[in-house]
Amino acid sequence: MWGVAVGMVGLEVGYFQNEENLISELIQVSVMMTKRTRATAEECFRLNVIEGMHQVDIAVEINKSQARVSQLISLLEEEWFAEYSVEQFRIKIQQTRVYEHIIREAMDAWERSKEDAETKKTSTKGKYPGDEEISVGQVGNPAYLKTAMDAMADIRKIWGLDAPQVHELGAPGGAALIPFYDQSILEDPTAMDLLCLLEERLSDGEDKQTDKATGDNASGSSPSGNGHKVEESAPS
């Protein structure tokens, strides 16, 4: 039973088919570039991407057309991309093999955990003392199933087989978020004008308070402890 599950999760045919396609693509790109052409392409890539030189200037420097420079850079990038893709698939396959081994070991342990446990009971009493073997039935250890299920979940994550997760924002306790204003206000021109007017008045009020505080500090009076202003008297 567990062998079928491992086979379904493994999807081995798909793994190697994808890898073979990428290797074929890499071979096709590599055939198009000889050793000398690759060296020229790497130089064009260095000058264009790293040094920031325009392709037209590179063409003049290496005595090639701008179209040829662009082609060489594109071929090199395609080769690197194919190499990266193949290596990426190899890593995925290696990790998948490890998880499949964990699944097999966990399921084997699960089957063994359901077998009858043999215990020995030593008796020193009676006419014939000695050891007595007793079989105790077991229902299995579910921890092994949990290990196998976790490994299967990790395989799905490696290959992106899980459905995308949807995260919804909410208020504490799971309640829906309440907007600061009703959405219909945005669709009402009159309401929007009132909101803008309110914002302007609030801003003007803050500016007036700031101007008043600045004027009080500039005058020769200062507030006393009882809330009344104390005027400074000139020396006699």
How confident is the model over 25-60, as pLDDT tens digits?
A: 555 555 556 778 889 999 999 999 999 999 999 999
- Is 17 a residue whose pLDDT tops 80? no
pLDDT at 100 over 80: yes
**What proportion of the chain, given as a percentage, has pLDDT over 70?**
56
Closest to 26 measured CA to CA, from 91, 71, 70, 81: 81
Average pLDDT over residues 153-172: 81
pLDDT at 3: 44
Which position has the higher pLDDT, 6 or 59?
59
Residue 189: pLDDT band (50, 70, 90) is confident
Asked if residue 102 lies in contact with residue 115, where contact means CB atoms within 8 angstroms, the answer is: no
- Compute the distance between CA of residue 28 and CA of residue 75 in angstroms, rounded to an integer: 11
Better-predicted residue by pLDDT, 154 or 164:
154
Lowest mean pLDDT among 94-98, 165-169, 217-221: 217-221
- Mean of the pLDDT values across residues 20-25? 58
Q: What is the pTM of this model?
A: 0.48
Has residue 212 got a pLDDT over 70? Answer: no
Residues 75, 33 contacting (CB under 8 angstroms): yes
Distant-in-sequence, close-in-space partners of 18: CB < 8 Å, separation ≥ 6: 89
99, 79, 76: which is closest to 87 by C-alpha? 79
pLDDT at position 123 is 64
Cβ atoms of residues 158 and 95 within 8 Å? yes
- Residue 133 in this model has a pLDDT that exceeds 70: no
Dist. CA 156–CA 96, nearest whole Å: 9
What does the alpha-carbon distance between residue 104 and residue 158 come to, in Å, rounded to a whole number? 18
Q: Is the dihedral of CA 106, 107, 110, 115 positive or negative?
A: negative
Mean pLDDT on 183-189: 69
**What are the structural domain ranges in the chain?**
2-159, 184-216
